[in-house]
Amino acid sequence: MLNSRAVVVSSLIVCLALVAGCVERELTITSEPAGALVYFADEEIGRTPMTVPFTWYGDYEVILRLAGYQTLHTHTNINPPIYDIWPWDLVSQTMVPWTYHCRVERHYQLDPLTLPPDEELRHRADQLRTRAFTPVDD
């Protein structure tokens, strides 16, 4: 037969498990100018400005593309906050009855597209043409 103290402790454990906290992670990406197409970790995720949920912290490749601007290839490192690092994450995600909100913001500046002079373009075209019609020795 269970004593009343064991019933109370068991009830508290069940209640804590039902109201356990969690962490909501969001990444906001903006750019100047706005409207750039964003590829995050090799996946197209939308146009700036935008906010998307994410699951894992770490280093990610970010690519931004916009007509009239140079494509930007870069990396961003998203570091976890203290409450999401082991062993603190065990407490924050299982014993705390509220939700943590991790909001990460990244802003990128796109450079206008600059084309080389016509003479340089002709020179490059001549080089490609020469290579294309030069036989390759096996």
**How many Cα atoms are found within 13 Å in the side-chain-facing hemisphere of 88?**
8
DSSP 105-122: EEEEEPPBP-PPPHHHHH
pLDDT in tens, 22-40: 789 999 999 999 999 999 9
More confident residue, 128 or 136: 128
Nearest in space to 25 (alpha carbons), one of 106, 102, 86:
102
What is the length of the chain?
A: 138
- The answer to which of 14-18, 44-48, 73-77, 116-120 has the lowest mean pLDDT is 14-18
Domain covering 13-132 assigned CATH 1.20.120 in the classification: no
Q: Tokens at residue 114, please?
A: 């600059």
80-117 tens-digit pLDDT: 999 888 888 877 777 777 888 999 999 999 999 998 89
| Token pair for 31 | 């750019």
The pLDDT score that the predictor gives to residue 135 is 85
With a threshold of 0.75, does the pTM exceed it?
A: no
Range 12-16 contact pairs with CB under 8 angstroms and sequence separation of 24 or more: 16/94, 16/95, 16/97
Q: Is residue 72 within 8 Å of residue 63, measured between CB atoms?
A: yes
